[in-house]
């Protein structure tokens, strides 16, 4: 069950009856029970924790009748009916009665509901023992064994944190054998509640002398309580929620029974709330005829205030809601003891940040800056009545539908809360089912051990989809978030579409082991096609959407792909036309090209020997033969993916990965990070890259979680997707993290659900990680992996920040890392050397290049990463350099040798070297140093034109050109790239727009 709150934009109107004060009721009932005779307490309250006090007193043998609107209490000697009495889940009942229980005629045990038995009251028990009460508990929590004997009295010291502890001592002290002095140590909080206790004791003939500052109380012994008739005043603590709702909505409401708009002449301990909301600008008028306070306005912005929470601690939650709608900053000071209530109410109200609020807690003060609006969210009430009601009121003015856990918590103090809010026209209701959970603590972790990893490794990519379609058919599987519209597929939808796409591939004679090349952005069609290819035993060959004709032609030729699937158009490029141009070059094994239309269909290109198909039309023509599809299901050891590297040391290499490797790699990360069943995996990295394919799509398959796809990067849209679909996990290159941080710093609302951001491609700079943790509220983890090895090292949320930030993580279980010198000798911790890796997630080899496969491994089976690195004594990896001078631009490796070779062939170039230039956002950019040929003059614009003519992806173009007289070389003629990197570093501070000297 959960509380559903639908935002209500219009005016609220109506009238509700204000309940009677629960604070007065507790004290009056207890004092009446101590007074021999009959007392009448007029003004019933249906607050559940008052009923707990009634039930406990009845358990002590006190007769309490109800006559109309009046409690009739027959006071006298406590004669327990049984050896155990319960305070239910009422802290007030427990604190007030645990000491008074010693006045019984027999020993008793004071207990509470199961979860309430974790309520610590050690300071109160210590003080009671100082008074001579024998109250014992091994845990300082209920149950508490109390001996039947009058207290002795004497000087008693008690901490001033909670007023109820002090009130509990004051209520007992008049019945001690000797004079009692109660001394409050430390800071005194909530004095108004103690003052109410002392005042009401006087009404029952008990006298307490209090010092002016409230830190010392003198109580004479052997006093006798006398019966009294008491009328309960209205409960300002409950009416606060009605006033708050009236403040944040255009209103015409009446709060019947509230007879004042100021705190003056009220003994209610929370009466100051009236003065606070008045100073915030809430228009309140007492309507004498209606006998209530009326609030009428057409919409207001509240004033910020400063509130000392020592005076009015229980009002912090609802005042936090009001402050979120104020113009300016409201400050709540001295909030430490507010964190000791039913929940940590300060931290609980920080959930308003997840709704677009702006709250900051520094340990002693809570600062709330007003915002223009709130957005719906799924929240936790922590089973705290005030948190539940305060967040519900906030949600009533938010855009959309919010949910709250523990929906009935309000009943303990304000049972008519929901009825009252609905009478105003607000839409709040308790729904059956399971409330969405967004907090880390509320998520159920997957139990992933080594056996579970091995079981996962036996599952193919397509089997994951079949499984979840059977077990969770209606749950979300794929969210396709495009610029202006978002669509989604359930697991049933996905499985059905995969079968149809698989039938289409079969109709094109695609069989086991055949390669299906896919050059698509992060659209749902990519997921459908990848799974469809695997479902019939084919191998999916992703091609990056940024690749131009040169790179595409190489991938198609080397892969020997039978089918090529492209979008008609994406981001201004007409991929279908580009594919036709590639096919005109011939020398390919393609038989079919399928075109997915982004906009209106146009005539398809024609190419000799190749059939062209419209994707949607082709799907409509096929009949699905499930048996024929299932008959071609692959074994887990079969190849699943052919992915081309960036070609950093020469031509790109085709990396072959098996189903078992990909499933094992995903399961290993799930275990390492403690990922949970209800994650939502956000994927901004291209699905055609291993980060997006394996640690986005495939990871979501293994988790059975929705994957949130975004094809065109826009950080504000990304945050919108993360918020709306409650994204919890993302693995992507550092620039994505940088842009999200900047977007939030520039005013975009963060995504409170996002728990983990794994930054790949390069170590996360410490300053960025600290900013991201603070700004996004997410854990940032560094990682290292390659297309060939999958992830080898990864930090975890439980690691020390000093290790997580600025390193590339530590080995996953089942992975071995080492640093060796050039002779292969193992180096000590912290020593830089050649980084090598061994893992069960190793690739099957380079397609058609056994020589390169053999070269990638040492004689004893370790993979040569080509990186320089260190590993510290705690096992954390730090990449320090690149043996092959790779440029890492935003997580993508630029093929330095290929670009250098191409530029070297330019007639205006005599010599050339391409090196990395540091960049704040992307990590590195390319800076090319050129020695011009005699009579030549290569400009930046001419270089771009030349690369474009040679069909080089713009992603690989150098972003700075420096003309120089010579390229520095050592004695044997090797280029001293470290010298050029130093020069590029000094140039990095200059504007990138000034790209040529």
Residue-wise pLDDT for 57-96, tens only, equals 999 999 999 999 999 999 999 999 899 999 998 889 999 9
- The predicted pLDDT at position 495 comes to 97
Question: How many other C-beta atoms lie within 10 A of the C-beta of residue 620?
Answer: 10
Q: How confident is the model at residue 970 (pLDDT cuts 50, 70, 90)?
A: low
Tens-digit pLDDT profile for residues 119-136 = 889 999 999 999 999 999
- Does residue 599 carry a pLDDT above 70? no
Whether the predicted pLDDT of 613 surpasses 90: yes
| 673-696 pLDDT, tens digit each | 999 888 999 999 999 999 999 999
pLDDT tier, 18 (very low <50, low <70, confident <90, very high otherwise) = very high
Query: Residue 151: which residues within 8 A CB-CB, separation 6 or more?
Result: 99, 102, 128, 131, 132, 133, 172, 173, 175, 176, 177, 180
What pLDDT, on a 0 to 100 scale, did the predictor assign at position 702? 96
Residue-level pLDDT at 769:
83
Q: Rounded to an integer, what distance in angstroms lies between the CA atom of residue 500 and that of residue 426?
A: 46
- Output the pLDDT for position 608: 82
Q: Which among 288, 220, 277 has a CA at the least distance from the CA of 254?
A: 288
Sequence spans of domains, the chain: 2-16+234-428, 22-178, 887-987
Helix (H) or strand (E) holding 941, with range, is helix 940-949
Mean pLDDT across 789-816: 89
Q: What percentage of the chain exceeds 90 in pLDDT?
A: 66
Residue 920, pLDDT score: 86
pLDDT of the residue at 733: 87
Tell me: the pLDDT tens digits for 165-219? 999 999 999 999 999 999 999 888 889 899 999 999 999 999 999 999 999 999 9
Domain at 887-987, CATH from 3.90.1150.10, 3.30.300.30, 3.40.1410.10, 3.40.50.300: 3.30.300.30
The pLDDT score that the predictor gives to residue 498 is: 97
- The whole-number average pLDDT for the span 582-607 is 81
Which residue from 960, 957, 950, 969 is spatially nearest to 997, judged by alpha carbons? 960
Bond before 277 cis per omega within 30 degrees: no
What is the domain class of 22-178 according to CATH?
Answer: alpha beta
Give the other-Cβ count within 10 Å of 716's Cβ. Answer: 15
- pLDDT, residue 440, reads 39
Sign of CA dihedral 717, 718, 724, 725: positive
Residues annotated within a binding site for phosphoenolpyruvate: 22, 91, 119, 164, 345, 386
Tell me, what's the pLDDT at 974? 55
Query: Which range is most confident: 248-257, 643-652, 764-773?
Result: 248-257
Q: At residue 918, does pLDDT exceed 60?
A: yes
Between 600-604, 650-654, 781-785, 895-899, the lowest mean confidence (pLDDT) is in: 600-604
Q: Percentage of the chain surpassing pLDDT 70? A: 95
Instruction: Note whether 2-16+234-428 and 22-178 share their fold.
Output: yes
Task: Classify residue 148 as exposed, middle or buried by CB count within 10 Å of its CB (0-12, 13-18, 19+).
Answer: middle
Separation between Cα atoms, residue 18 and residue 268, nearest integer Å: 14
Looking at residue 878, what is its pLDDT?
87
Higher-pLDDT residue of 674, 884: 674
Q: In sequence order, what DSSP letters do the residues of 85-115 get, joined into one string? A: EE-TT-HHHHHHHHHHGGGBSS-EEEE--TG
Cβ(404)–Cβ(438) under 8 Å? no
- Distance from C-alpha of 863 to C-alpha of 746, rounded to nearest angstrom: 43
pLDDT of residue 997: 41
Strand partners, 845: 656
What confidence category does residue 648 fall into, taking pLDDT thresholds of 50, 70 and 90?
very low
Collapsing DSSP states into helix, strand and coil, what is residue 48? helix
* Cα atoms found within 13 Å of the Cα of residue 452, Cβ hemisphere only: 14
CATH homologous superfamily for 2-16+234-428? Answer: Enolpyruvate transferase domain (3.65.10.10)
pTM of the model: 0.55
| Digit-coded pLDDT (tens) for 511-557 | 999 999 999 999 999 999 999 999 999 999 999 998 888 889 999 99
Per-residue pLDDT band at 338 (split at 50, 70, 90): confident
Closest CA to 962 of 913, 918, 904: 913
pLDDT digits (tens, 9 = 90+) for 474-514: 788 998 988 876 788 889 999 999 999 999 999 999 999 99
- Residue 828 sits at the vertex; the CA angle it makes with 824 and 833, to the nearest 5 degrees, is 50
Residue 990: Cβ within 10 Å count? 11
Q: What is the pLDDT of residues 714-746, one digit of tens each?
A: 999 999 888 878 899 999 988 899 899 999 999
Nearest to 759 by CA among 787, 788, 778, 735: 735
Task: Quickly tell me which residue has 């009295």 as its tokens.
Answer: 153
The mean predicted confidence, pLDDT, of the chain is: 90
Catalytic residue among 272, 314, 378, 885: 314
Q: Residue 987 has what pLDDT?
A: 87
pLDDT of residue 879: 83
Binding residues: 22, 27, 91, 119, 163-164, 314, 341, 345, 386
Residues 6 or more apart in contact with residue 318 via CB below 8 angstroms: 240, 241, 244, 386, 389, 390, 393
Is 620 a residue of the active site? no
Give 327's pLDDT tier (boundaries 50, 70, 90).
very high
Q: What pLDDT was estimated at residue 882?
A: 67
- pLDDT at 649 > cutoff 70: no
- pLDDT digits 0-9 by tens, 938-968: 999 999 999 999 989 888 999 999 999 988 8
* 972: pLDDT strictly greater than 50: no
More confident residue, 252 or 599: 252
994: pLDDT confidence band, cut at 50, 70 and 90? Answer: very low
Query: Is it the case that residue 568 has pLDDT exceeding 50?
Result: yes
pLDDT at 895: 75
372: helix, coil or strand? coil
pLDDT digits (tens, 9 = 90+) for 258-305: 988 898 878 888 889 999 999 999 999 999 999 999 999 999 999 999
Section 220-230 average pLDDT: 96
The mean per-residue pLDDT over the stretch 778-800 comes to 92
Cα gap 821→827, rounded to integer Å? 7
User: Would you state the pLDDT for residue 976?
Assistant: 80
Tokens 């080899």 belong to residue: 845
Say if residues 13 and 425 touch (Cβ distance below 8 Å).
yes
- Known binding residues for 3-phosphoshikimate are 22, 27, 163-164, 314, 341
Greater model confidence, 377 or 56: 56
∠ CA 205-206-210, nearest 5°, is 135
Average pLDDT over residues 316-327: 96
What pLDDT shows up at residue 422?
A: 93
**Model confidence at 881: pLDDT above 70:** no
Residue range 22-36: mean pLDDT, rounded: 95
Query: Would the CA dihedral through 892, 898, 901, 903 be positive or negative?
Result: negative
Q: How far is CA 336 from the centre of its chain?
A: 25
pLDDT at 438: 44
């Amino acid at each position: 069950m959960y509380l559903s709150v639908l935002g209500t934009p219009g005016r609220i109107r109506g009238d509700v009856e204000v309940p009677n004060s629960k604070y007065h009721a507790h004290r009056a009932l207890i004092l009446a029970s101590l007074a021999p005779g009959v007392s009448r307490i007029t003004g019933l309250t249906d607050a559940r924790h008052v009923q707990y006090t009634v039930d406990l007193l009845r358990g002590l043998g006190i007769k309490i009748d109800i006559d109309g609107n009046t409690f009739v209490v027959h006071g006298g000697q406590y004669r327990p009916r049984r050896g155990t009495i319960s305070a239910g889940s009422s802290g007030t009942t427990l604190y007030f009665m645990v000491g008074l229980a010693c006045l019984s005629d027999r020993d008793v045990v004071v207990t509470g509901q199961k979860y309430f038995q974790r309520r610590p009251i050690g300071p109160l028990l210590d003080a009671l023992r100082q008074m001579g009460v024998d109250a014992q508990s091994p845990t300082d929590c209920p149950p508490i064994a109390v001996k039947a004997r009058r207290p002795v009295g004497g000087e008693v010291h008690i901490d001033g944190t909670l007023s109820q502890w002090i009130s509990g001592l004051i209520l007992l002290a008049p019945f001690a054998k000797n004079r009692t002095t109660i001394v409050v140590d430390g800071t005194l909080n909530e004095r108004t509640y103690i003052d109410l206790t002392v005042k009401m004791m006087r009404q029952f003939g008990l006298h307490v002398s209090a010092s002016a500052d409230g830190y010392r109380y003198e109580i004479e012994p052997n006093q006798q309580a006398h019966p009294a008739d008491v009328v309960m005043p209205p409960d300002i603590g409950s009416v606060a929620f009605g006033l708050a709702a009236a403040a944040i909505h255009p209103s015409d409401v009446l709060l019947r029974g509230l007879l004042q708009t100021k705190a003056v002449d009220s003994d209610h301990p929370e009466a100051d709330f009236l003065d606070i909301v008045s100073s915030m600008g809430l228009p309140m008028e007492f309507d004498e005829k209606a006998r209530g306070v009326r609030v009428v306005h057409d919409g207001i912005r509240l004033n910020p205030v400063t509130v000392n929470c020592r005076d009015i601690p229980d009002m912090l939650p609802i005042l936090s809601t009001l402050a979120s709608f104020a113009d300016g900053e409201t400050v709540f000071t001295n909030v430490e003891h507010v964190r000791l209530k039913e929940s940590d109410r300060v931290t609980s109200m920080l959930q308003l940040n997840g709704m677009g609020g702006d709250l900051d807690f520094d340990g002693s003060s809570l600062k709330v800056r007003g915002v223009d609006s709130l957005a719906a969210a799924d929240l936790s009430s922590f089973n705290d009545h005030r948190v539940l009601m305060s967040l519900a009121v906030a949600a009533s003015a938010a855009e959309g539908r919010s949910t709250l856990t523990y929906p009935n918590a309000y009943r303990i103090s304000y049972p008519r809360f929901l009825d009252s809010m609905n009478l105003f026209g607000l839409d709040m209701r308790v729904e059956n089912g399971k409330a969405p959970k967004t907090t880390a603590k509320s998520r159920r972790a997957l139990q992933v051990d080594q056996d579970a990893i091995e079981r996962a490794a036996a599952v193919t990519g397509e089997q994951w989809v079949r499984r979840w379609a059977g077990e969770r058919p209606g749950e979300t599987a794929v969210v396709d978030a495009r610029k202006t519209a978002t669509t989604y597929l359930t697991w049933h939808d996905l499985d059905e579409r995969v079968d149809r796409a698989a039938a289409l591939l079969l109709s094109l004679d695609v069989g086991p082991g055949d390669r299906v090349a896919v050059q698509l952005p992060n659209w749902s069609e990519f997921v459908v096609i990848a799974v469809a290819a695997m479902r019939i035993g084919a191998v999916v060959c992703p091609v990056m959407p940024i690749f131009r004709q040169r790179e595409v032609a190489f991938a198609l030729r080397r892969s020997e792909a039978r089918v090529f699937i492209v979008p008609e158009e994406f981001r201004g490029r007409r991929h279908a036309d580009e594919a036709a141009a590639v096919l005109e070059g011939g020398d390919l094994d393609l038989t079919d090209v399928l075109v997915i239309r982004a906009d209106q269909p146009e005539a398809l290109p024609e190419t000799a020997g190749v059939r062209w198909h419209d994707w949607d039309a082709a799907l409509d023509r096929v009949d699905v033969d499930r048996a024929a599809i299932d008959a071609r299901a692959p074994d887990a050891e079969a190849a699943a993916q052919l992915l081309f590297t960036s070609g950093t040391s020469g031509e790109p290499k085709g990396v072959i990965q098996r189903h078992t490797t990909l499933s094992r790699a995903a399961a290993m990360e799930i275990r390492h990070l403690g990922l949970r069943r209800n994650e939502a995996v956000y994927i901004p990295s291209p699905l055609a890259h291993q980060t997006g394919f394996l640690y986005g799509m495939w990871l979501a398959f293994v988790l059975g979680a929705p994957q949130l796809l975004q094809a065109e990067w826009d950080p504000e849209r990304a945050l919108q997707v993360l918020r709306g679909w409650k994204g919890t996990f993302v693995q992507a290159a550092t620039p994505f993290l940088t842009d999200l941080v900047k977007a939030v710093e520039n005013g975009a609302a963060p995504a409170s659900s996002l728990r983990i951001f794994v930054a790949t491609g390069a170590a996360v700079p410490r300053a960025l990680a600290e900013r991201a943790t603070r700004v996004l509220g997410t854990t940032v983890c560094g990682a290292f992996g390659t297309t060939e090895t999958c992830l080898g090292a990864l930090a975890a949320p439980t690691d020390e920040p000093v290790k997580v930030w600025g390193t590339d993580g530590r080995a996953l279980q089942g992975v071995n890392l080492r640093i060796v010198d050039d002779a292969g000798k193992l180096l000590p911790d912290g020593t830089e050397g050649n980084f090598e890796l061994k893992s069960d997630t190793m690739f099957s080899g380079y397609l058609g290049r056994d020589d390169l496969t053999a070269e990638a491994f040492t004689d004893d089976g370790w993979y040569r990463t080509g990186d320089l690195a260190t590993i510290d004594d705690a096992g954390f990896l730090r990449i320090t350099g690149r043996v092959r001078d790779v440029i890492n631009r935003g997580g993508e490796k630029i093929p330095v040798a290929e670009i250098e070779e191409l530029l070297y062939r330019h007639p205006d170039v005599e010599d050339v070297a391409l090196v990395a230039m540091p960049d704040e956002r992307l990590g590195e950019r390319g800076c090319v140093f050129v020695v011009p040929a005699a009579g030549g003059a290569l400009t930046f614009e001419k270089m771009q034109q030349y690369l474009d003519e040679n069909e080089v992806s713009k992603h690989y173009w150098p972003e700075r050109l420096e003309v120089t007289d010579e390229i520095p070389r050592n004695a044997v003629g090797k280029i001293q790239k470290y010298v050029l990197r130093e020069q590029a570093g000094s140039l990095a501070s200059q504007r990138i727009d000034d790209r040529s000297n």
